[in-house]
Amino acid sequence: MKARTGYILAAAILVVAAAAVWFDAAIIETLPSLQQLENPPQEYATRILDRNGRSIESFFVKRRVYMPYDSIPAAFFQALIATEDRQFYNHWGIHLWRIVKAGVKNLLAFRAKEGASTITQQLARNLYFDREPTLARKLREALTAIQIEQTYTKNEILELYANTVNFGRGAYGIYVAAQEYFGKYPSQLTPAECAYLVALLKAPASYDALANYERALRRRNLVLAMMEDAGFLTPAQRIAYSRQPITVVESSKGGMRSGGIAPHFVEMLRKKLARDPSLAGYDLYRDGLTIETTLDARIQQYANEAVREQLALVQRDFDRMWSWNAHKDLLVAILARAVESHPEYLSAESPQARERIRRQLLGTPHFVDSVKRAVTTVQCGLVVLEPKTGAILAMVGSSPFAPERGAGSRYSLNHCTEIRRQPGSAFKPFVYAAALADGTIEPSTVIDASPFTYTFADGRTWSPRGTAHQGMVDVATALKFSINTVAARLITQYTSPERVVALARKMGITTPMDPYPALALGVEEVYPIDLVSAYGTFLNGGIAIPPVAIRAIRDRLGRQLYRGKFPAAATDALSPQVCRTMIRLLQQVVDGGTGSTVRQFYRYDAAGKTGTTNDFADAWFVGMTPELVAGVWLGFDDHRIKFTGAYGMGGKAAAPIWGRLMAKVYADRSLGFTKRTFDDRDSTLVPLTPEQARQVIEEDRYVPPPVQLHPVEPIRPEH
């Protein structure tokens, strides 16, 4: 019996000793030091660099604007304490009774149903530990909370918490959150807005009012009810604040410095990298990565200037020609939709209240005028590519005259990668190229330009819209003046819709296309960046290379995580001979054809094609120099709004932007683009090997790694 007792005692001692060793190694030794407690760890911003190493943007966790306790509304702290830790001022870092209660509930529920973390424990977790639900982490968190309580006062703990917690949208800290959600400084927040910010802490993405307004409203009102229960609000105050709508501003893509030189390009990168499995172990907002891109900040600046200069004239002409009196029914429909999506209308509790709010909004001139301006803002998409490598050199995603916030804002929809529009006559080069590749035409081939009707097998007929010409014209003249009847005859008599679809697909068009004769007139929608990239195939001597935006990504210490592949991919789509012919044909479009407005600004060799869709809905120009390809789209986010005259044609509205841009680019000798004629294009008319193309963009700046790590995929439009 004594021997058994001795064994048990020895085993117990061993267990206790082992537990002590584990506790010391796994818990005590991993606790933050006093220096770390007094100087919490800092997060590092991710830098976005252009191709020359110039910083163009940053992703970050917080803006290093630290808000002192006295500058933060008391209502925020009251909401926080009422919701997260009502015994905050009475405990010493952990709340034992709350832990016991949570443990019992979780045990009865057979799962972790309720947490027991105090505000101080949450702060410890935010500053020093990950969120892995292990016993070791919980113990470290609790002990660190006790250390924090010994190091800071209660108000200092609240201050530190408010400046470090994550509110979603990449907004860390109350200063950024107040700006991100309400466009205010923290001191300007109302109690209802403070309650909403605290409501976000449970699950920021789930309770973002822009994503799910009703869920956000319920959660905000629950926080207000808890504030009343804790004695911070009277019943009357709680009712009044609960009736207030949640009026948040549209996300400025929190964690990104808004208003940069290329906001849509940077946001395109953010979306791509956020879902890239190669960066699964990294945080774009904290880990201090360096993203080296293909963008050239100088060309981007010129693109911004060109768009602003020309779009001011186009917007002026549109405003002068557009009359809401002639579109009364459309205005009624647009205003009705705007009212139904307004936060006050959505938060109304009864049909009577909604009707009252509807009448109030429609009777407010500011509301009506803002809706009118939003839908009649001429939007723009412009992208500049280096065809040899697919490098995106510049991107303008929307109008600089659009509102900064709300629908159609200058920082919202990317009109290069996130819209699909009919290209109109800008699609015709694919028809001509298909016929040239088939050997059925030459530039001098004469084709009937008179009215044309195509009869389908089932007896249906189709005739191209637009002014027909009498007699015969040669192929070069037909493309120069964009004659629809010739394009219709080409796709039905000299090649086939199926051949055109196959060629356009090989050249880079990714959207679905039905093989029908009307395809010749550009009736199938395309992404602007696809169309521009496909034109680049002509410059590449028939080699299609998709757009790429990333050169390399490095960690905070400069170690390469992965490297862009240039070109990312290559498809042999056309023969060099057909490409040479197409460039000569497209030169004539600029030299006296529908794209001749380019010559008001740019005097060197250029080739391109205009596009104007039915009823002047879309205006296009895609053009090439011997070294670059760029495309411009102009139109409206609401398809029911259209240009009202010839000023909205591709040649008059879009082509001048291209001309202005290229004049600026080729006037800047520091950019290195010196080839002034297509005859001096050397290797640009023959297929390039991947190594040759890679050398164009690398310019001996980097030593290639021995192994290609995680090659960056080509940039594709947002489907």
The predicted structure's pLDDT at residue 173:
82
First to last CA, the chain: 77
Tell whether 371 and 397 lie within a shared domain.
no
Phi–psi pair at 399, nearest 5 degrees: -70, 135
Say if CB 116 and CB 102 are below 8 A apart: yes
Tell whether 599 and 544 lie within a shared domain.
yes
* Residue 226 Cα to chain centre, angstroms: 38
pLDDT at 299 over 70: yes
3-class DSSP state of 311: helix
DSSP 3-state percent helix, strand, coil across the chain (nearest 5): 50, 10, 40
pLDDT digits (tens, 9 = 90+) for 416-464: 999 999 999 999 999 999 999 999 999 999 999 999 999 998 889 999 9
Tell whether 569 and 606 lie within a shared domain.
yes
3-class DSSP state of 391: strand
Residue with tokens 């009577």: 352
Q: Could you tell me the pLDDT band of residue 127, with boundaries at 50, 70 and 90?
A: low
- Dihedral over Cα of 150, 155, 156, 158: its sign: positive
pLDDT digits (tens, 9 = 90+) for 486-516: 999 999 999 999 999 999 999 999 999 999 9
Mean pLDDT of 123-147: 61
Phi–psi pair at 561, nearest 5 degrees: -90, -45
Angle between helices 213-229 and 235-242 in degrees, nearest 10: 170
Mean pLDDT of 703-713: 34
Say if CB 625 and CB 569 are below 8 A apart: no
Domain that holds residue 148: 62-242
* Residue 157 Cα to chain centre, angstroms: 36
The predicted structure's pLDDT at residue 14:
59
Say if CB 405 and CB 250 are below 8 A apart: yes
The larger pLDDT score, comparing residue 384 to residue 409, is at 384
Tell whether 140 and 193 lie within a shared domain.
yes
Tell whether 536 and 576 lie within a shared domain.
yes
Q: Could you tell me the pLDDT band of residue 711, with boundaries at 50, 70 and 90?
A: very low
User: Looking at 198, 221, 242, which one is the last position of a domain?
Assistant: 242
Q: Could you tell me the pLDDT band of residue 465, with boundaries at 50, 70 and 90?
A: confident
- CATH of residue 534's domain is 3.40.710.10
Tell whether 101 and 209 lie within a shared domain.
yes
Tell whether 615 and 688 lie within a shared domain.
yes
CA–CA separation, 711 and 569 (whole Å): 11
String of b and e for 111-148 (b: at least 16 CB within 10 Å)? Answer: eeeeebbbbbbbbbbbbbbeeeeeeebbbbbbbbbbbb
Tell whether 538 and 632 lie within a shared domain.
yes
Task: Indicate the number of domains in the chain.
Answer: 4
Lowest average pLDDT, out of 114-118, 477-481, 560-564, goes to 114-118
The predicted structure's pLDDT at residue 229:
94
Lowest average pLDDT, out of 99-108, 180-189, 229-238, goes to 99-108
- CATH of residue 98's domain is 1.10.3810.10
Mean pLDDT of 674-700: 50
Say if CB 302 and CB 661 are below 8 A apart: yes
0.75 surpassed by pTM: no
- Report the candidate in 210, 212, 177, 176 with the shortest Cα–Cα distance to residue 195: 177
Q: Is residue 297 part of a domain?
A: no
Q: Is residue 617 part of a domain?
A: yes
CA angle (617 as vertex; 612, 621 as ends), nearest 5: 35
Helix (H) or strand (E) holding 561: strand 560-563
Q: Is residue 337 part of a domain?
A: yes
User: How many percent of the chain have pLDDT more than 90?
Assistant: 55
Mean pLDDT over each residue of the chain, to the nearest integer: 82
pLDDT at 286 over 70: yes
Residues 6+ apart with CB under 8 A from 266: 48, 56, 57, 256, 260
The predicted structure's pLDDT at residue 106:
44
Tokens of 420: 């699909």
The larger pLDDT score, comparing residue 628 to residue 170, is at 628
Tokens of 357: 């709010």
CA–CA separation, 637 and 406 (whole Å): 13
The larger pLDDT score, comparing residue 208 to residue 26, is at 208
- Report the candidate in 56, 55, 58 with the shortest Cα–Cα distance to residue 46: 58
pLDDT digits (tens, 9 = 90+) for 328-387: 999 999 999 999 988 888 888 888 989 999 999 999 999 999 999 999 999 999 999 999
Tell whether 118 and 166 lie within a shared domain.
yes
Tell whether 538 and 661 lie within a shared domain.
yes
Say if CB 85 and CB 95 are below 8 A apart: yes
CA–CA separation, 417 and 715 (whole Å): 9
Q: Is the peptide bond before 656 cis (omega within 30 degrees of 0)?
A: no
Tell whether 21 and 83 lie within a shared domain.
no
Say if CB 540 and CB 684 are below 8 A apart: yes
CA–CA separation, 599 and 592 (whole Å): 9
- Report the candidate in 544, 678, 557 with the shortest Cα–Cα distance to residue 607: 678
Q: Which residues is 455 bridged to in the sheet? A: 461
Give 612's DSSP letter. Answer: E
pLDDT digits (tens, 9 = 90+) for 212-253: 899 999 999 999 999 999 999 999 999 999 999 999 887 654
Q: Is residue 569 part of a domain?
A: yes
- Dihedral over Cα of 122, 127, 131, 132: its sign: negative
The predicted structure's pLDDT at residue 279:
84
The larger pLDDT score, comparing residue 65 to residue 629, is at 629
The predicted structure's pLDDT at residue 292:
95
pLDDT at 60 over 80: no
- Report the candidate in 83, 154, 157, 98 with the shortest Cα–Cα distance to residue 126: 157
- Report the candidate in 398, 405, 95, 141 with the shortest Cα–Cα distance to residue 262: 398
The predicted structure's pLDDT at residue 125:
73
Tell whether 14 and 130 lie within a shared domain.
no
The larger pLDDT score, comparing residue 280 to residue 178, is at 178
Q: Is residue 163 part of a domain?
A: yes
Q: Is residue 261 part of a domain?
A: no
- Dihedral over Cα of 455, 456, 457, 460: its sign: negative
Q: Is residue 225 part of a domain?
A: yes
CA distances from 719 to 139, 515, 526, 631 (A): 46, 21, 11, 20
Residue with tokens 């600004």: 601
Q: Is residue 551 part of a domain?
A: yes
